[in-house]
Structure 1
Amino acid sequence: MSKPIIALDADGVLLDYHVAYRNAWHKAFNDLPALKDPNAYWPLDRWNVRKLEGDELVHFRRFFNDEFWRTIPAVEGAIQACNQLETAGFELICISAIESEFQDARLDNLTRLGFPIQRVIATSGATGATSPKAPALSLLSPIVFVDDFLPYHRGVPPEIHRALITRETNGTPNIGEELSNIDSSHRNLREFTDWWLVNSQKLS
């Protein structure tokens, strides 16, 4: 019998995009930004950096290359949480709003870190009335979808348990009426895992 699937977002759930953003800035401008707000949701607010435009922005984006997507560190506790889920009998699949050309780099990043994940599905990152991840989730039919960006839960089939990772809250998009789309919320993947392993049978 196939294992029940848990679909996981990458950045902010499995991987620490904040640290990766800071490192990319350092490579681009030879300047390691200081921490400005440890509770900021967006890296532009978390680090003491300026908003880029024009040629500077084009230059910075060049550093979000294959090497960047292969070397993002794990969120604290995320690898342990995934190992617990796998041991409990779940198959873990990453669904990430990343350009398809970097899908293999993302998988390599996860496997090198020791995540028990053998598949990454790349989707568009554009938000609209329906999440760009919803079509892939409909085909995959996981029992739960975990993401840290509330708009990515739009239009996800209701039979899939929708778990929101709230993480840092300053400037968060995870507020408002759309919270009614969520079945549970947790500060990080480790907290979700502890909760899920206790409550999943009750929810089925």
Structure 2
Amino acid sequence: MPKPIIALDADGVLLDYHVAYRNAWLKAFNHLPAPKDSNAYWPVDRWDVRKLDGDELAHFRGFFDEEFWRTIPAVDGAILACNQMHAAGFELVCVSAIESRFENARLENLRNLGFPIHRVIATSSSHDGISPKAAALSLLNPIAFVDDYLPYHRGVPESIHRALITRETNGTPNIGAELGNIDTYHQDLLAFSKWWLENFPKLSS
């Protein structure tokens, strides 16, 4: 019998994009930004950085390369959470809104960190009113999908348990009527894992 699948977002759920963004800024501008708001949702608000545009923005984006996507650190507790779910008999699949050319780098990143994840599905980040992950999730048919970005739950089949990671709240996009589409809310993946393993027998009965 195949194992039931739990689909997991990467940045903000498995991996600490905030830290990676700061390190990319250091490489691009030879300056390590100071912390500004530890409860900011977006990295541009979390760190003391200026808004970029034009050639300067293009220069910065050039550092979001294979090396960047291969070396993002784990969110605190995320590896433990994944090991708990894996040990309980679930297959974990990362569904990430990144360009397909970085799919292997993302998988290598997760494997090098020790995540029990053997598959990454890259969906790109473009979408027309629904989640760019919705089609992939429909095909994958997991029992649960965990993401920290509310719009990426749009169009996800109702048969899939939709869990929202709330994490930092200043400037969060996770507000409004669409919260009604979410089944459960959790501070981080470790909190989800604890809740899921306690409640899955009831949900599946």
**Conservation of the 8 A alpha-carbon contact between 1:36 and 1:48:** yes
C-alpha deviation, 1:124, in angstroms = 2.0
**What is aligned with 1:84?**
84
**What is aligned with 2:129?**
129
**What is aligned with 1:142?**
142
Aligned mates of 2:115, 2:167 — CA distance in 1: 20
Moved more, 104-113 or 128-137: 128-137
**Conservation of the 8 A alpha-carbon contact between 1:127 and 1:152:** no
Aligned mates of 1:25, 1:76 — CA distance in 2: 22
C-alpha deviation, 1:90, in angstroms = 0.1
C-alpha deviation, 1:130, in angstroms = 1.3
Is 1:64 aligned to residue 64 of structure 2?
yes
Letter paired with 1:160: I
- The 5-angstrom pairing of residues 27-46 of structure 1 reads 27-46=27-46
Query: Number of residue pairs matched?
Result: 204
Aligned mates of 1:28, 1:130 — CA distance in 2: 33
Structure 2: stretches of 5+ with no match in the other structure: none
**What is aligned with 2:113?**
113
C-alpha deviation, 1:126, in angstroms = 2.1
**What is aligned with 1:174?**
174
C-alpha deviation, 1:129, in angstroms = 2.0
- The 5-angstrom pairing of residues 178-189 of structure 1 reads 178-189=178-189
C-alpha deviation, 1:201, in angstroms = 1.4
| TM-score, normalised by the number of residues in structure 2 | 0.99
Aligned mates of 2:170, 2:65 — CA distance in 1: 28
Deviations 1:20-52 (A, max 9, x none): 000000000000000000000000000000000
Aligned mates of 1:74, 1:90 — CA distance in 2: 20
| TM-score, normalised by the number of residues in structure 1 | 0.99
**Conservation of the 8 A alpha-carbon contact between 1:5 and 1:91:** yes
Helix, strand or coil for the counterpart of 1:179?
Answer: helix
Aligned mates of 2:82, 2:189 — CA distance in 1: 8
Moved more, 120-129 or 44-53: 120-129
Aligned mates of 2:182, 2:129 — CA distance in 1: 16
Aligned mates of 1:17, 1:128 — CA distance in 2: 25
C-alpha deviation, 1:189, in angstroms = 0.1
Aligned mates of 2:72, 2:128 — CA distance in 1: 27
